Amino acid sequence: MRAAYYEANGAARDVLRVAEVDRPEPGPGEVRVRLATSGVNPSDVKSRAGTNRRLAYPRVIPHSDGAGTIDAVGAGVDPARVGERVWVWNGQWRRPFGTAAEFVALPAIQAVPLPPGTSFAAGACLGIPALTAWHAVMLDGPIAGQTILVSGGAGAVSHYAIQFARAAGATVLTTVSGPEKAAHATAAGADHAINYRTEDVGARVRELTAGRGCDRVIELDITANARLLPEVLAARGTVVVYGIGGPEAPLPAPFCLFASVTVKFFLVYELTAAERAAAVAGVNGMLAAGRLENAVGLSLPLERIAEAHEAVEQGRVIGNVVLTL
């Protein structure tokens, strides 16, 4: 089968190769998926570069997300699943071989039925971004009637978080870095997009919340944005953190103490079985109802994987980057 892989950490054009490799066979409890698409996420790019973890296997086929059709099953898996359209999650998490290939074999539970009418391109966007967004929005209980601040509203996770929060009955504020990204965020359902390059975020949030602040902040980089919490978060508010930009986050301790702030971290790869099941059901429910917009910003063939990685690294694409196989 054709696959992209790397055998050392480094720059995309230096280490990524596309060649023929052995096709995997499904083991007990596994399915094999003939992939149509593979999603490229920031964590995939950082793993290849070696910025978040060093190479753990002699050869890595990257990417955790993708979509395609089950073409074989291992022992203990219902043969009726052959021919099923699916999207996959954690394809390359703690495993050497992910979705940047024509086939992937993985535990059957990690191949989720793709609702009718949902494209394979959309399916490649779901594993990391949509599941992260669902868990971040729902982690601290019901949000109907609350005001939520989603940081970085044009990002892949935030694009889904805005939609989930609006669907759950929240008023959604978000931060962006320019007019094009503001338009993208408001099209997803954000009530207000705040340009942090031209506006005082804290002042704007206070204005929009009658001085109270937001009930919840969905934070993509607590390292960079912790200093804003006293300006944007209401007393007894919650910060849900799914990403960091550095080794330390200087929390404003007096504010957090006296305002009784709750800060919750989570890593989408390590959701519990119950958390994962809830997120998968929520995402698939909105897909099946036609209520979820999946933003594919760039689609490239597998042979151009280095270009796809560079696009993610440089942040020059609004929406998800997807490879076709």
Mean pLDDT, 10 residues at a time, the chain of 325 residues: 98 98 98 98 96 89 98 98 98 97 98 96 98 96 96 97 98 97 97 98 98 97 96 98 92 97 97 98 97 97 98 95 98
pLDDT computed for residue 53 by the predictor: 75
Please list, residue by residue across 69-88, b when 16 or more beta carbons sit within 10 angstroms of its beta carbon and e when fewer do.
bbebbbeebeeebeebbbbb
pLDDT computed for residue 136 by the predictor: 98
Q: Which backbone phi and psi does 171 adopt, to 5 degrees?
A: -90, 130
pLDDT computed for residue 128 by the predictor: 97
pLDDT computed for residue 52 by the predictor: 74
- Alpha carbon 278 to chain centroid distance? 16
pLDDT computed for residue 51 by the predictor: 84
- Compute the radius of gyration of the chain from its Cα atoms: 20
Whole-structure pTM value: 0.96
Beta bridge partners of 227: none
pLDDT computed for residue 308 by the predictor: 98
**SS3 state of residue 9:** coil
| Closest to 147 in 3D by CA, of 218, 238, 229, 214 | 214
pLDDT computed for residue 33 by the predictor: 98
Read off the tokens for 252. 């404003």
pLDDT computed for residue 86 by the predictor: 98
Element spanning 38, H or E = strand 30-40
